[in-house]
Amino acid sequence: MTFSSLGLREPLARAVADLGYEAPTPVQRETIPAVLRGRDVLSCAGTGSGKTAAFLLPILQALSAHPGRVPRQVRALVLVPTRELATQISEAIGRYGRYLTKPLKSCLAVGGVSANPQMMALRGGADLVVATPGRALDLAKQNALRLSSVETLVLDEADQLLSPGFADELTRLLALLPARRQNLLFSATFPPAVRTLAAQLLHEPTRVRVEPSSPPAGEPKAPHAIEQRAIEVDTDKRTPLLRRLLETHAWSHVLVFVASRHGADHVALKLNRAGIVAAALHGELSQGARTQAFADFQAQRVKVLVATDVAARGLDIAQLPAVVNYDLPRSTVDYLHRIGRTGRAGQPGVAVSFVTASTEAHFRLIERRHHLALPRERIAGFEPTELAPPALDPHGGIKGKRKSKKDKLREAAAASAPPRKS
Ligand code: AMP
């Protein structure tokens, strides 16, 4: 199967051939023809599946084939949860659209940077806008962004768009769009909020699932190309172990996940002190610093990017050979989001998780959740010595030491019962 056989015209097929795409990915095979036919699409596709091209290529084709009634009215709106993802998508528009005879104008509308340049860019109109909901809403309120002629709406990473803090802005923004439009919704996971949104938004959608046997909760599936490893190590030996792995593997660059902003700064600092070029990426950095860290990593000027989950969400890093879970993700779903940063579009990749005595139980939970049973490895010189802490009950207490709910109810009943006559 080729991109042309999906209905894409020569300029777009040529652009993807230039990028080295030999054949459409499964999500592209199903999504592109549906979007070209004007259908709504509901797609269970995470980053790494090729979903960006799956929606952009047919949108670019439609926009270039049928000129709008009024030139440069916004006809396609792509909403994403992060500035980084928006930037990547707008770069992809440039790459995919480079051979179109009638060049399309796309604009970015993202928060965290000054709104003025974005307003200026929108002044002459735009065919496509890639935006985060908050900034799109702000610009719409100020009449800098007019949404009344949007024909196609894309919600990318819809599960993230609906996270607290975004959901309200998204709802208000959707109210500004014309009722008749094409809707494309992409999400790696389908929690109830996404299902509700999909039910409200989509009209008889074409459903695209990357793998027919995706896990039941609608969670992203681990790409086959990823080798998963679990290494047992003491908590305070993780940075030296990371350094050892960097020495012994010929990884060009590595994305390391940590649990906190402080952890990201700390690990990056330690690596830099050891002569390994590393940068931290977390939500509390200025937008300039985030963009710089990410650009340095992309260009491989930085070998190790130490990131929190929020900052790394949706980032598309070409040919990333390895991901390291320095801290395990709190949520089991995030495990797949994280390891999905490597092994993208069929490239091989390795995902290494550091498992300490105190996180072993949590890692077993992650394994159970994803039907994994990874052998525990030990690296010479880094054999763990820590002991597992006492088992915790789900409420945070120590099993056997805390009264259960039933115990408390029994005690309360006993205390309120009339004294027994003896
Ligand atoms: P995405 O899932 O959209 O974030 O894309 C993941 C990566 O796969 C990006 O770096 C794309 O450039 C690349 N990609 C997308 N489609 C294809 C394809 N058909 N063949 C090879 N690589 C692709």
Q: What is the arithmetic mean of pLDDT over 322-343?
A: 86
Tell me, yes or no, whether 153 lies in a domain: yes
Query: Alpha helices of 307-402 — where are they, by DSSP H?
Result: 309-312, 332-339, 360-369
One domain, residues 241 and 195? no
Candidates 320, 310, 333; CA nearest to 255 is: 320
Q: What is the arithmetic mean of pLDDT over 29-55?
A: 91
One domain, residues 19 and 147? yes
Tell me, yes or no, whether 358 lies in a domain: yes
One domain, residues 44 and 189? yes
In angstroms, the CA 312 to CA 314 distance is 6
Q: What is the arithmetic mean of pLDDT over 91-102?
A: 93
Tell me, yes or no, whether 286 lies in a domain: yes
pLDDT for position 266: 96
In angstroms, the CA 206 to CA 30 distance is 9
pLDDT for residue 400 is more than 50: no
Q: Which residue minimizes the CA distance to atom 21 of ligand 1?
A: 21
**Tokens in use for 205?**
């959608």
One domain, residues 187 and 247? no
**Number of structural domains, the chain?**
2
One domain, residues 30 and 130? yes
Residue 5's pLDDT band (boundaries 50, 70, 90)? very high
- The number of residues making up the chain comes to 422
Among the listed ranges 303-317, 362-376, 394-408, which one has the minimum average pLDDT value?
394-408
What are the Cα distances from residue 308, in Å, to 44, 263, 316, 337, 339? 24, 9, 15, 12, 13
One domain, residues 195 and 257? no
pLDDT for residue 421 is more than 50: no
Residue ranges lining ligand 1, Cβ < 6 Å: 21, 24-25, 28, 47-53, 316, 318, 344-345
Choice from 18, 19, 87 to test ligand 1 binding pocket (greatest atom count within 8 A of CB): 19
Closest ligand 1 atom to Cα of 25? 19
Choice from 21, 56, 157 to test ligand 1 binding pocket (greatest atom count within 8 A of CB): 21
pLDDT for position 252: 87
**Tens digit of pLDDT for each residue in 126-138?**
999 999 999 999 9
Tell me, yes or no, whether 413 lies in a domain: no
Candidates 272, 333, 331; CA nearest to 305 is: 272
Closest ligand 1 atom to Cα of 49? 2
Which of 151, 174, 209 corresponds to the end of one domain?
209
- Our CA dihedral for 294, 295, 298, 304, rounded to 10 degrees, sits at -50
In angstroms, the CA 253 to CA 256 distance is 10
In angstroms, the CA 62 to CA 419 distance is 81
Q: CB count, 10 Å around CB of 355?
A: 22
pLDDT for position 416: 52
pLDDT for residue 145 is more than 90: yes
Residue 346's pLDDT band (boundaries 50, 70, 90)? low
Tell me which of 58 and 223 has the higher pLDDT. 58
Choice from 5, 22, 25 to test ligand 1 binding pocket (greatest atom count within 8 A of CB): 25
Closest ligand 1 atom to Cα of 45? 2
Look up the domain containing 113 and give its range. Answer: 4-209
pLDDT for position 333: 80
pLDDT for position 372: 83
pLDDT for position 225: 66
One domain, residues 105 and 205? yes
Give, as one character, the DSSP assignment of residue 236: G
pLDDT for position 345: 60
pLDDT for position 417: 47
Closest ligand 1 atom to Cα of 3? 19
Candidates 94, 103, 96; CA nearest to 67 is: 103
**Tokens in use for 186?**
């992409």
Among the listed ranges 7-11, 35-39, 90-94, 312-316, which one has the minimum average pLDDT value?
312-316
Tell me which of 268 and 211 has the higher pLDDT. 268
The string of DSSP letters for 102-157 reads: SPPPEEEE-SSS-SHHHHHHHHT--SEEEE-HHHHHHHHHTTSS--TT--EEEESS
- Our CA dihedral for 23, 4, 188, 265, rounded to 10 degrees, sits at 60
Interaxial angle between packed helices 167-174 and 133-141, expressed in degrees from 0 to 180 and rounded to the nearest 10: 40
- The pTM (predicted TM-score) of the whole model is 0.61
In angstroms, the CA 409 to CA 407 distance is 5
Catalogue the E-assigned strands of 242-320: 254-257, 278-281, 304-307
Candidates 231, 217, 220; CA nearest to 326 is: 231
pLDDT for residue 53 is more than 70: yes
pLDDT for residue 414 is more than 90: no
Which of 160, 183, 209 corresponds to the end of one domain?
209
pLDDT for position 214: 38
pLDDT for residue 180 is more than 50: yes
pLDDT for position 220: 45
* CATH code of the domain containing 319: 3.40.50.300
**Tokens in use for 227?**
């080798």
In angstroms, the CA 309 to CA 329 distance is 8
Pair type for strands 128-131 and 206-209: unpaired
Tell me, yes or no, whether 415 lies in a domain: no
Among the listed ranges 45-49, 264-268, 286-290, which one has the minimum average pLDDT value?
45-49
In angstroms, the CA 280 to CA 259 distance is 12
Tell me, yes or no, whether 386 lies in a domain: no
Among the listed ranges 49-63, 230-244, 330-344, which one has the minimum average pLDDT value?
330-344
Tell me, yes or no, whether 280 lies in a domain: yes
One domain, residues 29 and 106? yes
Choice from 5, 337, 344 to test ligand 1 binding pocket (greatest atom count within 8 A of CB): 344
Question: How many angstroms separate the alpha carbon of residue 296 from the centre of ligand 1?
Answer: 21
One domain, residues 204 and 248? no
Tell me, yes or no, whether 241 lies in a domain: yes
Residue 420's pLDDT band (boundaries 50, 70, 90)? very low
One domain, residues 205 and 285? no
**Tokens in use for 375?**
């052998």
Instruction: Name the strands in the sheet holding 128-131, side by side, starting at the edge strand that comes first in the sequence.
Output: 106-109, 128-131, 76-79, 152-155, 182-187, 41-44, 206-209
Tell me which of 212 and 268 has the higher pLDDT. 268
pLDDT for residue 66 is more than 70: yes
**Tokens in use for 66?**
């049928």
One domain, residues 239 and 145? no
In angstroms, the CA 160 to CA 150 distance is 22
**Tokens in use for 306?**
């130490």
Question: How many angstroms separate the alpha carbon of residue 405 from the centre of ligand 1?
Answer: 51
Q: What is the arithmetic mean of pLDDT over 136-141?
A: 95
Question: How many angstroms separate the alpha carbon of residue 3 from the centre of ligand 1?
Answer: 13
One domain, residues 346 and 243? yes
